Amino acid sequence: MKSWISVSSDSDFPIQNIPFGVFQTATNEPKVATIIGEKVIDLSALAAHGYLDAVDFDKNVFNSCHINDYMALGKPVTNAIRAAIQSIFNIENTTLQNNETHQAAILHDVSKVELLMPIKVGDYTDFYSSRDHAINVGTMFRDPENALLPNWLHLPVGYHGRASSIIGSGTPIRRPKGQQMPAGADKPVFGASKLLDFELEMAFVIGKSNEMGTSVSTKSAEDHIFGMVIFNDWSARDIQKWEYIPLGPFLAKNFASSISPWVVTLEALSDFKVESPVQEPKVLPYLEFEGNKNYDIRLEVDIVPENGQSKTVSQSNYKYMYWNMCQQLAHHTINGCNMNVGDMLASGTISGPESHEYGSMLELSWRGTKPIAMPDGSERKFINDGDTVVMRGFGQKDGVRIGFGAVSTKVLPAS
């Protein structure tokens, strides 16, 4: 499949992708969109010009500042719409290709629009599902001999985060302030976090709800998962260390999490499915699954200093996840917890086995004991004011690359 819109070989957005997001221009209200190459496609304009008439749905879902109403149409409809979009932009289809007036109303250069937060997130949950990350953190903070707590291999550990502070790429954050207990001190101090960190994660978005009192099985989970984004779960390690006992993270995590601008559908990612790591001991029946449920998605993190040269500090892969999304959703709902369209469930920090594959500065600098050298001669143990953290991810197979675009966030000084 090839589009009549030109797509460079290193683009995240060939015609095979067709992710969903929200954009606005200086003169237009926010609208739901997709992207091919460098062209943002206004789906409300595409529908208004009759190009999606063959699919029966409420075209008003595209006149929105989020994609929730679109996702709620359900996969039979959204998959038909996605296929219709691919047909319209296929090089063999000349209808819109030969209509420059319509193109002017429908297509926008990505450099000339603003991409907005694509989802109205209702509830947000963060898991802790990378074994290498859990072992690294357990080794640093507790006991190398018993790095994994007894429950870890039996259930996908998670906690309820906060949805209000999930932001889109490009929105800067302020360094958080809070209580810390410095090593050797006998009482806590208050101030700006000194150990601000990123967490390299991916998140999935619920596109189909389940009623309270019912559960989603691993078998039906993919029907409830609309798609995925790259997710930077900002973390203040000094605040976290003091506050997290006994109920887990609180103010160290809820000040900001950043997501990439395009929600990539599970259908677009299907070619990148791979086997999961072997789960031993055997999981309980409700967590068993059939087939490949993991994904080979390459991930990387760059730190870009203010006025400085960027450095790639981590190269990981989603395939390292021990617990897959289907297991996470089955576990989350096994007690009858209801999920709503727009809920976001993040993976937890995704670390691989090699030291360059660690998904946080906590691990990369090994708690600050191994600073990372930057091209300008400075060092990073954690993230400095003025730094921009950029995360990217894509799958690549048989010459087709399906990506997410970047999630880029600048850190401003504490207020």
**Footprint of Mn ion (CB under 5 A):** 126, 199, 233
Q: Is 133 a catalytic residue?
A: yes
Residue with Cβ nearer Mn ion (256 or 297) = 256
Residue with Cβ nearer Mn ion (30 or 249) = 249
Take residue 184 and report the two structure tokens written for it: 């050797």
Please state the closest distance from residue 349 (CB atom) to Mn ion, in A.
6
Cβ atoms 362, 140 nearer than 8 A: yes
Can you tell me the distance from the alpha carbon of 1 to that of 113, in angstroms, rounded to the nearest whole number?
27
Residue with Cβ nearer Mn ion (342 or 348) = 348
Number of C-beta neighbours around residue 304 at 10 A? 17
Residue with Cβ nearer Mn ion (45 or 346) = 346
Residue with Cβ nearer Mn ion (52 or 299) = 299
Q: List, as own/partner pairs, every contact residues 84-87 make where C-beta atoms lie below 8 angstroms and the sequence separation is at least 24, other chains included.
A: 84/51, 84/52, 84/54, 84/55, 85/18, 85/34, 85/41, 85/43, 85/46, 85/52, 86/1, 86/15, 86/16, 86/18
Can you tell me the distance from the alpha carbon of 83 to that of 33, in angstroms, rounded to the nearest whole number?
15
Among all residues, whose Cβ is closest to Mn ion?
233
Beta strand spans in 86-206 (E): 107-109, 114-116, 124-127, 158-160, 166-168, 173-174, 177-180, 189-192, 196-197, 200-206
197 DSSP β-pair partners: 235
Residue of 133, 224, 331, 332 marked catalytic: 133
Angle at 366 between CA 328 and CA 249, to 5 degrees: 40
Cβ atoms 198, 361 nearer than 8 A: yes
Count Cβ atoms within 10 A of the Cβ of residue 218 and give its class: 0-12 exposed, 13-18 middle, 19 or more buried.
Answer: buried
Can you tell me the distance from the alpha carbon of 164 to that of 150, in angstroms, rounded to the nearest whole number?
32
Please state the closest distance from residue 201 (CB atom) to Mn ion, in A.
6
Please report how many Cα atoms fall inside a 13 Å half-sphere around the Cα of residue 109, on the Cβ side.
2
Residue with Cβ nearer Mn ion (126 or 238) = 126
Residues catalogued as catalytic:
133
